[in-house]
Structure 1
Amino acid sequence: MNKSGSTEPVLNATFVRPASFYLNGFSNIPYTKYYYVFLCFIYITTVVGNGFLMSVIYLVKTLHTPKYMIVFSLALTDLCGSTALIPKVLDTFLFDRRYIVYEACLSYMFFVWFFAFVQSWTLVTMSYDRFIAICLPLRYHNIVTKTAIATILLVVWVFSLSLLTAAVGLLDRLSFCGSLVIQSFFCDHGPVYYLACNDTSLNTTIARLIIIVIMIIPPVLIALTYVGIAIVLSRIASGVERLKALKTCTSHLILVAIFFLPLLGTNLAAVTSYIHPNARIINSTMTHTIPALLNPIIYSLKTEEIIFLPGTKLLINASPK
């Protein structure tokens, strides 16, 4: 709002900056509040699961390894990403507070996509760890050190911060003189800049760059690491050894699939053709929430170092991989 407390757009010689946007959410679908209650349960489970996993990794010294530095980073990213998105979604639609201040909208967008970016490249870092462990096992401890992993993760966080800052900052040069209704459940990048009434070519370019850097390059790099792994495994004579090596990769591959496939499908459809806003909302919410929910279960808690047995306490092996 402006100084007078009204919701009129702020005007100057070059652009029209709105005081607030309106988040439309689902359209013509009854009982949508039950869907948001479902997201609430997902969020609670995500916080408990990832919080517990981070606590275990922090407290158990045998898990202070490069591999679990990556797992800890993924759990932290999942926790922060879900916290950046779901509570605000619940506040917006369960309590019908659909107007969001312009500056808050940009911040909202930044944090949701920042943590999605970090999660994407953390999965790449995990594939690098598996590639070295299987293809260069004798050199693993010399290559995959705590310093090396810390450096990689720091680069991922800094690069993510830089790219998303540029993408969100470029929105500030746009003029919003028409509709202020965002056809999404949060301040998504595409639905926001589509509302602008001046030149958005630069925003389109950086949106495509983000799609390439977050959604295309990472799965390509992951695929290349698994090609290398497959070549090495094909040379192993023992079927038991092949199976054991593959088991160390299945959890990671499941994570990659549940994260990248919906993300790629939704955003490529939005860029190249048309996707109904309701379909985009469902796909986007699942993409931003389900991986964070499943990551501790599928990847981290199914490893040999952390094992759950029904009706028993947590068992932690003395010798990590």
Structure 2
Amino acid sequence: MAQANVTSPFPGYFILVGFPGLEDLYLYLACFFTVLYVVSTTGNLTLLSIIKIDRSLHEPMYIFLFMLSTTDLLLSTFLTPKILEILWVRRHETSYEACLTQLFLIHSFATTESFILVAMAFDRYVAICHPLRYFSIITKGVIIKIAVCGVIRTEAIMVPIMYLLKKLPFCSNNIIHHSYCEHMAVVKLACADTSINNIYGIIVMLVTSLLDLFFITSSYVLILRAVLRLGSRDARLKTLSTCTSHICVMLAFYVPAILSSIVYRVLTNVPLHIHILLANVYLILPPLINPIVYGVKTKQVRRRLLFIFKL
């Protein structure tokens, strides 16, 4: 009698491959990611402290910046330690529960960051296009409503993702070809039909990323139109300079994200470690760049930093 084809049971944990093909460089990568994490954490904590202590910074623009920096800090905190564990001590295992928790938190904070960037673009639009009505439009009540909408949107996106993921059965293949628990990398391991998960993942990407980019782009088109109407060249340059920090932050967030998505879905012949590195840059770069950009470009933050270091 032919033996029945039995699928091996899921062992209860996943193995993250890390950066395959770069094992000889793990020490250098470990040092590099450690420096990035320390600089990122220090920068965001410093920015949060400055905004909290300096009452002159308790304005809508800096409240949104406080939200962004908090999100960045949490994102890097839930992402980087596991990567460092892989690189420093070669510990690749992660439990099923820990993996799903990391997946939920990382994607939640990445989604929240995108929403905050939209809110910051709207803030700059009101400040430049309707300066006399700015404080009557962007009130504390409006900021609270925006924050609540951001949380609701993130939960509305993530709850179905986690529900669909929890329903999937996992068998003997528990090797995640990534350095962290990325959604689609985990879905690929399921020994069942994952078409619903794939379709929902694409819908989420289109609705969130493209819609957020549309709102941000629309805001800056209106801002540019208002700036070009200013009579003085100095006034135009001064007005545009207030937006350069936000533009740099948006580029640091969306460009690596788009490149990673293109490599993952279109350029399938790209080496795996390149895709993994791009996926890490997409999440690690914004928390690193944001406090540096705002520390350098924002006069009030820069002045406070110089005052601290003089002490």
Give me the TM-score of the superposition, normalised by structure 2: 0.91
* Aligned alpha-carbon RMSD (Å): 2.0
Task: Please say if 1:222 is aligned against 2:227.
Answer: no
Q: Distance in 2 between matches of 1:16 and 1:157?
A: 37
Contact 1:124 1:218 in 2 (8 A): yes
Instruction: Among all aligned residue pairs of Structure 1 and Structure 2, give the percentage whose two residues are the same amino acid.
Output: 33
Q: Distance in 2 between matches of 1:169 and 1:187?
A: 16
Residue 226 of structure 1 aligns with an amino acid whose one-letter code is Y
Deviant stretches of 4+, over 6 Å: none
Aligned partner (choices 14, 36, 50) of residue 21 of structure 1: 14
Aligned partner (choices 104, 109, 114) of residue 103 of structure 2: 109
Q: Distance in 1 between matches of 2:10 and 2:140?
A: 46
CA deviations 1:97-120 (Å, max 9, x no partner) are: 111111111101111111111111
Q: Partner residue of 1:7?
A: none
Structure 1: runs of 5+ lacking an equivalent: 1-14, 316-321
Equivalences for residues 1-321 of structure 1 within 5 A: 17-29=10-22, 30-274=24-268, 275-308=270-303, 312-314=306-308
Contact 2:21 2:273 in 1 (8 A): no
Contact 2:294 2:301 in 1 (8 A): no
CA deviations 1:123-151 (Å, max 9, x no partner) are: 11110010001111111111011111121
Q: Distance in 1 between matches of 2:63 and 2:159?
A: 26
Q: Distance in 2 between matches of 1:284 and 1:69?
A: 28
Contact 2:51 2:58 in 1 (8 A): yes
Q: Distance in 2 between matches of 1:99 and 1:145?
A: 47
Q: Which SS does the other structure have where 1:197 is aligned? A: coil
CA deviations 1:229-272 (Å, max 9, x no partner) are: 11112211211111111101111111111110110121233234
Q: Which SS does the other structure have where 2:70 is aligned? A: helix
Residue 133 of structure 1 aligns with an amino acid whose one-letter code is A
Residue 309 of structure 1 deviates from its aligned partner by: 8.9
Give me the TM-score of the superposition, normalised by structure 1: 0.88
CA deviations 1:163-209 (Å, max 9, x no partner) are: 12221221111122252111100011111111112111110022112
Contact 2:39 2:288 in 1 (8 A): yes
Residue 215 of structure 1 aligns with an amino acid whose one-letter code is S
Residue 17 of structure 1 deviates from its aligned partner by: 4.8
Structure 2: runs of 5+ lacking an equivalent: 1-7
Aligned residues: 301
Q: Distance in 1 between matches of 2:302 and 2:294?
A: 11
Contact 2:110 2:283 in 1 (8 A): yes
Contact 1:85 1:112 in 2 (8 A): yes
Residue 271 of structure 1 aligns with an amino acid whose one-letter code is R
Q: Which SS does the other structure have where 2:15 is aligned? A: strand
Contact 2:230 2:236 in 1 (8 A): yes
Residue 93 of structure 1 deviates from its aligned partner by: 3.0
Residue 91 of structure 1 aligns with an amino acid whose one-letter code is E
Contact 2:263 2:275 in 1 (8 A): no
Q: Partner residue of 2:4?
A: none
Contact 1:185 1:281 in 2 (8 A): yes
